[in-house]
Copies of this chain bind each other. A is one copy, B any other.
Amino acid sequence: MIEPDLELAQALFNELYAIGYDGIGVTRDTYGPGEQRAHDLIRLSGTELGLEARIDAALNLYLTLPGLERSLPAVLTGSHLDSVPRGGNYDGAAGVIAGMSVLASWIKCGRRPKRDVTVISIRAEESVWFPVSYIGSKSALGLLPADALEAVRFDTGKTLGKHMEEQGGFPETLVNGAPAVSIGAVCAFIELHIEQGSVLIESRQAIGIVTGICGSLRYRSATITGQYAHSGATPRTHRHDAVVAFAELVHELQNTWQVLEADGHELTLTFGQVNTDSKQSDFSKVAGKVVFCIDIRSRDVDTLDLMNDYVQRAVADLSAKHGVNFNLGEKIRSQPASMDPALRHGLTVCAKNRDLKFHAMPSGAGHDAAMFAYTGIPTAMIFIPNANGSHNPDEQMEMDDFSNGARVLSDILWQISNQ
């Protein structure tokens, strides 16, 4: 069995960190200089290895080791290179670097697969920058709605189309041209990714084999409007307190979550942001306005809808109880996705052959793999253990764990690419 090129992997991680460090964490901003530097680095590394480089209209990067029978549908692996603001070094990048380390080791020992094997560096997976999910993979697969190009990046105020153009992309082609990845031309997509929770660490498993990817139902900008009033002179029963209404909403829905879990539903519920108005609020005023967000995730569409029903009911009750107005704003959904059973089985065989303990688990987080699965491409995911969660500067993947994941990736890619 062949060993992935860990020296290359470590060098790429180091270099990515150096060019992405923002003083607190790592920032590789979607369609901005941070993401671009990462793409430049991986492209350079790929061409040094002799891989064929291609960039599509949305600036996704494809590095291909040509197979012996190039007309056969290719095997795709990879992940995204962007990060959240002040995130960590491994979320996304680990999947790209794993693919690079596998192909480097194959090249080093002269291995040549039957099918093309391509490492894809996907753009714009972190939807914190633009309020659109999976921009890069949707673009590659011809799934990006045209109006998404008008979405505005939260920090620059510029549209997605403008950002793409500035980095050298062709938004026009994206809308009118053929997709870069045509379904018939790809026989499988395998994404390796760090686990963003702590299941593997706590259960001491070497790798995770993903069963399915959660869909989401989100209200990214919800508002409660109450009435500002003097904190000392307004009796409890005369208040229309937006903060209290928010607190009651969180309290109630936390209880609902617990009840649904006890009933066997798998989901998460998160209120990641809440803010009173910076100009009109005051410590001596009852709050007249609160802006917040809700993020619900589940592998089961019915569970998403059920939790959303509870949200709607709580909102109606609390509006009446507190005399406040809830405006949940736009509801944004992403569909859950199932991983391919044959590929999942293949991964368990590979893990066993490498004497690795593995754990079958859902992915609570969304991944580009969901888009590939959605189009009907057989898709699978490998999770590797990671401490301290992701989307923060403290995410911590050990190279030993990474190499276990890369070994399994190497084995499954070799297997599929020779079928």
Contacts and interface: CB of A to CB of B under 8 A. Distances in A.
Nearest to A243: B271
Given A257-B236, A276-B275, A297-B231, A282 B218 contact: no
Contacts of A247: 246-251, 254, 271
Interface in A181-196: 195-196
Q: How many copies of the polypeptide does the oligomer hold?
A: 2
A364 interface: yes
Interface string A351-364: 00000000000011
A258 B243 CA distance: 17
Q: What 6 pairs between A and B have smallest CB-CB spacing?
A: A247-B250, A197-B233, A196-B233, A232-B364, A231-B270, A196-B230
A214 interface: yes
A388 to B, nearest CB: 8
A63 interface: no
Contacts of A235: 197, 199, 268, 364
Nearest to A275: B275
A98 to B, nearest CB: 19
Nearest to A286: B270
5 contacts: A84-B282, A197-B230, A234-B364, A273-B287, A283-B295
A391 to B, nearest CB: 5
Interface of A: 84-86, 127-128, 195-199, 214, 216, 218, 220, 227-236, 238, 241, 243-244, 246-251, 254, 257-258, 261, 268-276, 278-288, 290, 293, 295, 297, 363-366, 389-392
Contacts of A268: 231-232, 234-236
Contact of A273 (B85, B229, B276): B276
A287 B250 CA distance: 13
Contacts of A195: 233
A258 B236 CA distance: 8
Nearest to A278: B275
Contacts of A198: 234, 238
B283 A366 contact: no
A216 B241 CA distance: 19
A280 B84 CA distance: 10
Nearest to A383: B233
A233 B275 contact: no
B391 A230 contact: yes
A272 B295 contact: no
Given A230-B196, A244-B250, A261-B236, A276 B274 contact: yes
A110 to B, nearest CB: 39
A241 B244 CA distance: 18
Contact of A365 (B85, B230, B293): B230
B128 A282 contact: yes
Contacts of A241: 270
A244 B273 CA distance: 11
